[in-house]
Structure 1
Amino acid sequence: MVVYNCVNDEDFLRKSEHGIGKRAIYYFYLDSCSTCERIKPLFDDLCKKYEDTSIVYTYPYYNDDQLTGEAFEVRQVPTFVVMDNGQEVTRHVGAEDDKVRELFEKYGQ
């Protein structure tokens, strides 16, 4: 899995070119979010587990550049969005371990 940690909209646009025509998981979070912090160890483990098969983009929502979050219609964090060839396949909002694990197991391959 290639994990692209995007820091702003411009960075996201540049790095997202690597996922064109492929399936990718987008993770929107907030540094000061306790729920995001709680799910981080599981997220990191899943990224390692699927490192050979997936592309993941992380994006800190609510920073100065919010166009990416708005384009993905992110309303709260953490939000996971699965895209395949430019089309949204599914999304999960929240940090339930089983739901996040299920998302990676189903779409991280």
Structure 2
Amino acid sequence: MVVYDCLTDEDFLQKSEHGIGKKAIYYFYGERCPSCESIKPLFDDLCKKYEKTALVYTYPCYNDDQLTGDAFAVNAVPTFVVMNNGEEVTRHVGAEAEKVQELFEKYAV
């Protein structure tokens, strides 16, 4: 697995080229978001667990660059979006550990 930490819109565009035609999980978070902070340990564990099979992109919303968050219609954080070949498969908004774990179990393989 590869986790691409994208910090700006330009950074996201460059790194997302690696995921063209593949299934990927996109994680949108806020840098000072209590819910994002609470789910981060589980997210990190899931990234390690599925390190051989998943492609993950992270992106901080609500910074100076907003085009990526807008393009994915992110209205709240944390938001997890699963894409496959450029099409959205599913999304989950919130920090419910069980839901995030289910998303990885189903789509990170």
Tell me the TM-score normalized by structure 1: 0.99
Q: Which residue of 2 aligns with 1:64?
A: 64
SS of the counterpart of 1:98?
A: helix
| CA deviation profile, 1:34-93 (whole Å, cap 9, x unmatched) | 000000000000000000001000000011110000000000000000000000000000
Q: Which residue of 1 aligns with 2:35?
A: 35
Q: Which residue of 1 aligns with 2:83?
A: 83
Q: Which residue of 2 aligns with 1:52?
A: 52
CA distance in 2 between partners of 1:18 and 1:63 (Å): 23
SS of the counterpart of 2:43?
A: helix
CA distance in 1 between partners of 2:81 and 2:104 (Å): 11
Identity of aligned residues (%): 76
Q: Which segments of 5 or more consecutive residues in structure 1 lack a partner in the other structure?
A: none
SS of the counterpart of 1:90?
A: strand
Tell me, yes or no, if structure 1 residue 13 matches structure 2 residue 23.
no
CA distance in 1 between partners of 2:96 and 2:47 (Å): 16
Q: Which segments of 5 or more consecutive residues in structure 2 lack a partner in the other structure?
A: none
Deviation >4 Å, runs of 4+: none
CA distance in 1 between partners of 2:21 and 2:50 (Å): 19
Tell me the TM-score normalized by structure 2: 0.99
